[in-house]
Structures are given as C-alpha cells and as structure tokens.
Structure 1
C-alpha cells in the first residue's frame, strides 16, 4: 500500500494515447494517459469510463453534444455511448474503468492498446 504521485507518474512516459496502469481495485483500473489530437469515434458495450483531466483541456465529442473539460473536472461516459476525445495540445488524464476496458472500445486499429504497461 503506497501513495501515488500523479506528477511523478506522468513524468515517466511521453507517448500519447497509450494508457498506463497505476492502480487496481475491485476489478477496476486507475490509468494515466497523455492525449494529443483526435482519437477514434468508439463506444464500450459493457463498461462505463471516467475521464478526469489533470492538466490541459479535453473536448469530449458525443454525437449529440460536446463537453469541454479543464483541470480538476471529470466526465463519466456511460456504456454504449459513442464518444471521441479530442485534445488541443497535450492533455494529461486519469481514467477509471473496469480492467476489461479496451481503449478503442468496439474499434480495433493502430491505437488499440492490447496490453497495458504498469507503472
């Protein structure tokens, strides 16, 4: 049982759209990711996702609206809701989601992270 320093963990990697696992509890994973640019439109059949912005500004595009998030703000995207994260500049986010969650949801492409690194 050790504390986690987010600033320290974010300093350990630089690649974008490659989540890193920094904690696990009750079948859920706490992940950190750096985002830049637009991701792919996707949804998750069985998992909800929590996006907490640590640094930067994230635009979460949903088919019916767009949600703007700044540092200290989070959004829960319910299962089945199609979404696309968009980062203007680099954004650092904390993700909280079931361990089974694939970052690209129902889509598989070059950004799909099949195996996640643990920091």
Structure 2
C-alpha cells in the first residue's frame, strides 16, 4: 500500500455502513475509512487509542461521562479503555487511525463487527 489514496473518495465508494476498510499502513497502525449511519455498538479497546477524523458529515461519540460531536474536518481520540458508541444521525464518512491489534468492536461482537480480513479486502 504505497500509493496515493483519497480517503474521502474511497469512503464514499463503500456500499456497507460500519464496515471499515484499510487504505494505508503506518508503522504498527492502520489507516481505515468507513461510511457510517446509525449506531455502531458500545465497546472499548483496552490497550489501544482510536483516532476519528471526519471526512464528511457529523458523528457523535457517546461515552459514559460525555458525548462529543465531530463535524467535517474534526478529529478526536478515544483513549484506551474508554467505553464509547459512535452514532451518525445522517450518513457520515470517517477515517480512523488505530493500531493493527485493534479489534473493530473491542470484545463486543455484534452483527456489525468486522474481522481484520474483511477490513483488508480490496476496495
């Protein structure tokens, strides 16, 4: 993966919601994009931080002690161990940067959980 990519265009081309795709690798991290709508699932990543960057639209990240609302161009890092639930009231395009060891929905497994193999599929 050593090509020029447009995360926004790749995210826009996705046909499934909440199904991130790896678009680049950076040391021990993946850069992923996703098209999201509705609620993902309450979950946490015990050993990894998770960076959200909004490519288009708006995303709320619910946490037990607060909710942050991110708009296009905004970035927020959910610290490791913090339970959170991303929610998009309208379709939203996001970019994520997270360690390669980060499980999509942490230890929670739902119908929206995607394996690393799914996330590595060609776009």
Taking structure 2 as the reference length, the TM-score comes to 0.91
Q: RMSD in angstroms over aligned alpha carbons?
A: 1.1
Report how far residue 69 of structure 1 moved.
Answer: 0.4
- Larger helix proportion of the pair: 2
Give 1:6 deviation, angstroms.
2.4
2:116 is the alignment partner of 1:111: no
2:122 and 2:64 map into 1 onto residues whose CA distance is 33
Runs of 4+ in 1 over 2 A off after TM superposition: none
Shift of residue 71, structure 1, vs aligned partner: 0.3
User: Which residue is 2:42 aligned to?
Assistant: 41
Q: Counterpart in 2 of 1:56?
A: 57
Aligned to 1:9, what secondary structure does the other structure show?
A: helix
- Tell me the SS of whatever aligns to 1:93: strand
Structure 1 gaps of 5+ residues are none
Aligned twin of 1:92: 93
Change (3 A) 1:118 1:28: farther
